Chains A and B, each alone.
Chain A
Amino acid sequence: MATNNKELVVEKIDNGTVIDHIPAEMVFKIVKILGLDAYEDEILIGTNLCSKKYGKKGILKIKNKYFTQDEIDKIAIVAPTATIIIIKDYEVLEKKHLELPQHIHKIVKCINPNCITNVEEIDTNFDVVNRDPIRIQCHYCEKTMEEIQFKD
């Protein structure tokens, strides 16, 4: 990492994924839900960086890591403004602007302890009934909730 007078210059990664435009307060949450705290290759974590669009933003650069759709969906739920940049040989292979999905399949746990999905082996399903603040409704027990708990 090097700095000049105006900005922080972060080393480029040759292969891997950059998650940019993360709301600053969500950076460590994303690290946790993606299990990156146990990742053994290089990770650059930046937070509270100046952003013209968002005021303060966070960024993650994860070397040699490409995320599954389930993992990308998790990022979209906690940071729908984020951008995913896929890097191969220092080139941008793909750039995805995330969007909160209408339906959330499998990755979230119902917080209602009496819900059947917490008893039987069932893939959970939620509808997003409000986007800001996010509120989801369980397809099975029909409870609405603002708290999002991801499955392990």
Chain B
Amino acid sequence: MTNLKGKNLISITDYSKEDYLTVLDLAEKFENNPNQPILTDKVVGSLFFEPSTRTRLSFETAANRLGARVIGFSNPSATSLQKGESLHDTIKMVSSYTDIIVMRHHKDGASRYASEVSPVPLINAGDGANQHPTQCMLDLYSIRKTQGRLDNLKIAMVGDLKYGRTVHSLVQAMSNFNAEFHFVSPASLAMPDHVKDYARNAGLQYFEYDKLEDVVPFADIIYMTRIQKERFPDQLEYEKVKNAYIMTAATLKGCKENMKVLHPLPRVNEIAMDVDTTPYAYYFQQAQNGMYVRQALIASILGYADKVK
């Protein structure tokens, strides 16, 4: 078990393999016993500079179940930012009131910068198209929970592998666990070279496909992603690929018994509703696991890991 007290979480690579396992073990305790008011003397700053229902509610519920109080905003239009206040000054002010900050921002790199300004630790809840490390942590938790291990798994990733930050982080994190990667995407949304280089430098194998059906027979995890309209500079390009991969219950015929389908949500049409009732669907439980992982992170970064039962 590593000591994460005071350790910012901005990028998934800020934490080591041992750090991941510390968080996952602690999250398991919260799954068994979610209401543990061990942070009644703490205040969590929840700064959402761009809207996010799922992540914000998950973090704030996590803080509440730990007994902490939450201050912050979910809509920057009602704050001094509208008056032109800099991110620097907002963080200086909020960090003087709080013990830890959870922040989402539309600019890439905003969380790293805020963590350098803030004297209190900061958890990145998503910075533009860059990182979303707590999503990656909950993905790891979901993989370990469904497969019983993290080592030596065949992980397929499907859809928008170019712009999808969750799949980039997952490759980085799973590179610690001898994963074999299978990337399924249209050529225009292929996994970027720097991510493939990361896997290669870790000594891992990856394979690329253009058909979802090709990976179904052997994958342990199929990680689906939404083709994100907002990431396309050219809307015509979006129209060409938006329906490239649609998973139905029939698609999964012949898959391994232990296989689980993950998705960071929200989904649009890439997973048909008939998949929800198969034993392979895990995306809703995956979202729920996010709360336990965030409880684990808040408690351990504030130095309360040893108080968790």
Contacts and interface: CB of A to CB of B under 8 A. Distances in A.
Do chains A and B stick together as partners?
yes
Contacts of A142: 11, 108-109, 130-131
Nearest to B194: A144
Interface residues of A, number: 17
Q: How large is the interface on B (under 10, 10 to 19, 20 to 34, 35 or more residues)?
A: 10 to 19
A112 interface: yes
Contacts of B106: 114
A140 B194 contact: no
A43 interface: no
A77 B105 CA distance: 32
B88 interface: yes
A114 B11 CA distance: 17
A17 interface: no
A140 B108 contact: yes
Interface in B170-212: 194
15 contacts: A112-B108, A114-B106, A115-B107, A116-B87, A116-B110, A116-B127, A120-B86, A120-B113, A121-B88, A139-B109, A139-B112, A141-B107, A141-B127, A141-B128, A142-B108
Interface of B: 11, 86-88, 105-110, 112-113, 127-131, 194
A104 to B, nearest CB: 16
Contacts of A115: 107-109
Q: Which 6 A-B pairs have the closest CB atoms?
A: A140-B109, A141-B108, A141-B109, A116-B109, A116-B107, A116-B110
Contacts of B128: 114, 141
B122 to A, nearest CB: 14
Contact of B88 (A114, A120, A138, A139): A120
Given A141-B128, A142-B131, A144-B194, A116 B108 contact: yes
